[in-house]
Structure 1
């Protein structure tokens, strides 16, 4: 051990003073300047005017130390020499040190202001907890849904001005730069407030004023993990923290919308929060959308409109006491600029949708209509008709979507945490027997262990595993691609970012495209991506694309602004019950030719279905073509033989427990 060094001890003492802050740094420099002034006064004491005492000489030294303008006023070699040393030392001690301290203090203060550590003072705003791959699309979608946001804020008792507060754990200048470069967000940059802090910290939550918010959105993380804690566990901790905050402050809990990736933790999240809460089962919903897209070619274009605000048609929830006691068949023809899709009924504490209901169904007091329209004002337009109610000719057995059981082989390329839910969704369909092959570089033993831990044991009956590198041409050549009806390419969640996952997925897609180029076999291809910016990289290549984070961001916004819509989408994209599908003209016994939309939807009603629009221009059974949803009801559409009708049909297999009176 080294012996004690007095100099090191003194330096340690100075360090402890400097780290205490700017005030102590000023005290140290004042002490140093005082000692230098004392030394200078002692050195020149007695060399000047005899009437000047020691205090006068010390003041003389301080003036030379602090103001270089006195340098030429002294007489005598000795006083001039000391004055010169003091003046030069003053540049370092008085000017240099003090300017350095002030500069550092000002820099620290400005950086602290940039970090957003001050709690916001506002009410009826929307809070987003965390900056993930969903956050920027969330903000963008909120601004695009301006009309819905105003109605939502009005229902919450607040002003119709949207203000968004984002609590980001690592608030870097790059986040603000992303907002300024986004074509939508940059227009409203002054209404987007960034705060720094962790949503897991109770004190940090106060910075976003969560308890005074109209809604709190908690998006999940896909690729970023810290400390081995999953996104779902963090979200549950956030819900508990909000409970604790509200209890301590004696305030009501805010409305929270969040995404849970693991289906088994959805119930835990509901138990963790005692206020109004909507939980989106992320993996389950994305899996449903994937299977539905494989079952119905072109569905991705329909979903693109339904989920995106500002693009075409959207689903709206509309309540009007005028419809109480009326039958569905009496009102569905009255909407001249919207398409009636069903109703949402509140049963106890839950919302139960009835999509494609029978014409004889009677509306009750709290029922809300589900309408497809361009905007909310169009959805409200209703014209009372004197004509008798529209009949429904199809019986229940005729209106069911019950094709003969068929077999389909599906190649799933890649691996992610969604695979167990995806297999569970495939197995839930009784009209199709799926043969699933999973092609991935992940060891088969690990896959089987994950499936076992997920609690899904039926996968052995219809799922097998293939081992290979998805970016390797040799591995692809070992596959018999002609035996597959559909190929689903999954974005991997094992990589550090969505960009890397998409690069790997697109490399595999290009290998697949090259192998299929010289063959007559054309399986349906569904490509899952993580970054919306990568959509345009593939151009107009064949196949359909699904961007999961973007889809979930849109769903979070829809649910935040209208709670009932989650139940509607939940019913619309599941294995049994209502389903968006495509019908050929032959299915309705119609020849090609001119038809008004009103006439076509009457044909659909006669078959027990609801017509949503037209998919035209597709020469083959693929996703190419033009989608027209909810056109002008009086316009004449010139249908060609390959055109398909977009409808909502209902499978016969319905859960009886869904009906409530």
Structure 2
């Protein structure tokens, strides 16, 4: 039989501990009880020294005053009362003041940490919400804060006066706020951004950001991880389903406008079926693969896309309705803008936007039409009404110029692997008149590649794929894969790396090795690098290469489409095969007389062939320089190696 040892002291300490861990309220009650107990003991100890008229209650009150207020020390008579008063005063310093300060300080620190974690729900209306923290989130926020013109339109539409941006992140820390502050396009405005902790797939966390009362919700896709059953697209669709369920629970019929990113094209239809409100789905893999495919067909195009799809410090695509342009011809309207280039019209029919890029110059502007323009800032979208009033222009049409077609087999070397590769191969299959030999060099096992290629049924015979499992950052591998025999080299940011810096480091090291081999080669293939971190682009400035920064491009698309829904239809039309396309034309193709011309003259020459001039590539000593949307009266010194950036229609 076990002996039960006396455990009264341990029982008291355990009970006291359980009360203290319950929070500040219980801690204060324990301290209050301790103060009361000490006051009673102190009062009992001085009762023998009291006068006959002083009761026990008055003695306890005397002890409480000495315990809570040190100022009474020295007012007492008699050695015993002074001794007890001194003990009570010292106990007051330790228990009353010390405990009270410690409890309040701990409570305040806990409350501040709780607030910093973003666990309290917000109450807002017509705000903007970004669900998820990824490598796109900061760039999306920067785009939104810099889009002054688009924000003004959005404010007028929603009848709000100030932007309120809320970001939902799985973890909220001071590091994230510092990242927002470090972005030059956000800076001090970072304090206007509200961070909340939570997951987009959790309905309770959606309430934390008051998602159903938002005007716009942006759902960027997270990076691919090593989970096989749960990927970012599944989480995005689950988020859309959660928003729908919340709307049904609270009987909300006017759902917020959502812009979501889906990586796998096969899940786009499922995403549209998951949400009953206004929704635009951005197929990120398809978008990036289309940009890569068009850059392969027209080397140098990445610089144009980087300017149109980068931060708003450069040229961007805008849409705006001009009631004064109604019933005027498109050709006349184009001449009415001195600081912008009109590239088309977008019409709204039954809630859908239909873009007409590079339309016929005789096309009339109708009520409700919005013009599509390229401009540096929204304030430049001003038309010269005097030119519009004189619409007696006669258009002299010349024969349309042919778009150069590829004759021989196009040899492409792809170094690295990420989720864009299958989409790129799929995109190249849409160019039915072109043949490709593609060599894929990556550490990804062949079996996994074959599994990823299952997104489409069959690869046509005109596309031959050669798989090599190897590490391209090794010089021996670079020499073995016959770099000099290819027309185009595409270097991808690997998805096998946890950090963007690590992925970009491998890409740049491989590029330097290739540059060394090509230095003594007669053939110079075009090289396109995909980077994940925009800060690394400056490291490649001394080299002749093209760069596409996927997170920046996708961030611009998500932010732009969130503020101008019609932009999605424009980008979708511009990036797909056939129809309106951006190409380059040599100066000699326009038979320009003389070595100098203004951009206005170049625009007129392109327009006479049914095309739209967007800018010019000028050969400099340090390489080609892109001038997109230059001043109309800018005099350009032209040479045979210069080329125009043209928007044309491919049939």
CA-CA distance at 1:219 after TM superposition: 1.5
**Any unmatched runs of 5+ in structure 1?**
653-661
Q: Which residue of 1 aligns with 2:639?
A: 640
CA-CA distance at 1:77 after TM superposition: 6.0
Distance 1:95 1:321 in 2: 73
Cα contact 1:502–1:529 (8 A) shared by 2: yes
Q: Which residue of 2 aligns with 1:391?
A: 396
**Any unmatched runs of 5+ in structure 2?**
none
Q: Which residue of 2 aligns with 1:658?
A: none
Cα contact 1:141–1:309 (8 A) shared by 2: yes
Residues 480-559 of structure 1: pairs in structure 2 closer than 5 A: 480-559=482-561
Cα contact 1:414–1:489 (8 A) shared by 2: yes
Q: Which residue of 1 aligns with 2:259?
A: 257
Distance 1:528 1:493 in 2: 12
Quick one: structure 1 residues 227 and 200, their matched pair in 2 at CA, closer, same or farther if it must change by over 3 Å?
Answer: farther
Distance 1:592 1:221 in 2: 53
Q: Which residue of 2 aligns with 1:222?
A: 223
Cα contact 1:592–1:641 (8 A) shared by 2: no
Q: Which residue of 1 aligns with 2:426?
A: 424
Q: Which residue of 1 aligns with 2:127?
A: 125
CA deviations on 1:182-220 (whole Å, 9 max, x unpaired) are 322124344333333333333333343333333222222
CA-CA distance at 1:580 after TM superposition: 0.7
Quick one: structure 1 residues 426 and 63, their matched pair in 2 at CA, closer, same or farther if it must change by over 3 Å?
Answer: same
SS of equivalent to 2:209: coil
SS of equivalent to 1:432: coil
Q: Which residue of 2 aligns with 1:583?
A: 585
Q: Which residue of 2 aligns with 1:292?
A: 294
Q: Which residue of 2 aligns with 1:318?
A: 320
Tell me which moved more, 39-48 or 543-552. Answer: 39-48
Quick one: structure 1 residues 69 and 379, their matched pair in 2 at CA, closer, same or farther if it must change by over 3 Å?
Answer: closer
Q: Which residue of 1 aligns with 2:143?
A: 141
Quick one: structure 1 residues 231 and 459, their matched pair in 2 at CA, closer, same or farther if it must change by over 3 Å?
Answer: farther
Distance 2:402 2:12 in 1: 88
Q: TM-score scaled by structure 2?
A: 0.91
Question: Alignment RMSD, CA only?
Answer: 2.9
Cα contact 1:613–1:628 (8 A) shared by 2: yes
CA-CA distance at 1:498 after TM superposition: 1.6
Tell me which moved more, 68-77 or 421-430. Answer: 68-77
CA-CA distance at 1:75 after TM superposition: 5.9
Quick one: structure 1 residues 82 and 224, their matched pair in 2 at CA, closer, same or farther if it must change by over 3 Å?
Answer: farther
Distance 1:517 1:32 in 2: 84
CA-CA distance at 1:647 after TM superposition: 0.3
Cα contact 1:582–1:645 (8 A) shared by 2: yes
Distance 1:50 1:334 in 2: 106
Query: What is the aligned residue count?
Result: 644
Distance 1:408 1:328 in 2: 38
Quick one: structure 1 residues 448 and 36, their matched pair in 2 at CA, closer, same or farther if it must change by over 3 Å?
Answer: same
SS of equivalent to 2:617: strand
> Which of these residues, 466, 469, 473, is aligned with residue 468 of structure 2?
466
Distance 2:50 2:160 in 1: 77
Q: TM-score scaled by structure 1?
A: 0.89
Tell me which moved more, 631-640 or 538-547. Answer: 631-640
CA-CA distance at 1:648 after TM superposition: 1.1
SS of equivalent to 1:457: coil
SS of equivalent to 2:318: strand
Q: Which residue of 2 aligns with 1:405?
A: 407
Tell me which moved more, 541-550 or 345-354. Answer: 345-354
2:373 matches 1:375: no
Q: Which residue of 1 aligns with 2:441?
A: 439
Distance 1:85 1:142 in 2: 65
Q: Which residue of 2 aligns with 1:163?
A: 164
Cα contact 1:116–1:194 (8 A) shared by 2: yes
Cα contact 1:585–1:591 (8 A) shared by 2: no
Distance 2:172 2:376 in 1: 37
Quick one: structure 1 residues 449 and 116, their matched pair in 2 at CA, closer, same or farther if it must change by over 3 Å?
Answer: closer
Quick one: structure 1 residues 364 and 405, their matched pair in 2 at CA, closer, same or farther if it must change by over 3 Å?
Answer: farther
> Which of these residues, 345, 348, 371, is aligned with residue 347 of structure 2?
345
Cα contact 1:150–1:162 (8 A) shared by 2: no
Quick one: structure 1 residues 63 and 635, their matched pair in 2 at CA, closer, same or farther if it must change by over 3 Å?
Answer: closer
> Which of these residues, 25, 31, 34, is aligned with residue 33 of structure 2?
31
CA-CA distance at 1:600 after TM superposition: 2.2
CA-CA distance at 1:288 after TM superposition: 0.8
Distance 1:208 1:11 in 2: 43
SS of equivalent to 1:318: strand
Distance 1:324 1:556 in 2: 30
Q: Which residue of 2 aligns with 1:659?
A: none
Tell me which moved more, 404-413 or 119-128. Answer: 119-128
Tell me which moved more, 39-48 or 174-183. Answer: 39-48
SS of equivalent to 2:409: strand
SS of equivalent to 1:559: helix
Distance 1:255 1:2 in 2: 71
Cα contact 1:618–1:643 (8 A) shared by 2: no
Distance 1:377 1:6 in 2: 80
Distance 2:183 2:220 in 1: 19
Distance 1:3 1:505 in 2: 71
Distance 1:352 1:292 in 2: 22
Cα contact 1:224–1:497 (8 A) shared by 2: no
Q: Which residue of 2 aligns with 1:657?
A: none
Q: Which residue of 1 aligns with 2:236?
A: 235
Quick one: structure 1 residues 76 and 518, their matched pair in 2 at CA, closer, same or farther if it must change by over 3 Å?
Answer: farther
Q: Which residue of 2 aligns with 1:177?
A: 178
Q: Which residue of 2 aligns with 1:275?
A: 277
Quick one: structure 1 residues 413 and 227, their matched pair in 2 at CA, closer, same or farther if it must change by over 3 Å?
Answer: closer
SS of equivalent to 1:571: helix
CA-CA distance at 1:222 after TM superposition: 1.5
Distance 1:213 1:367 in 2: 28
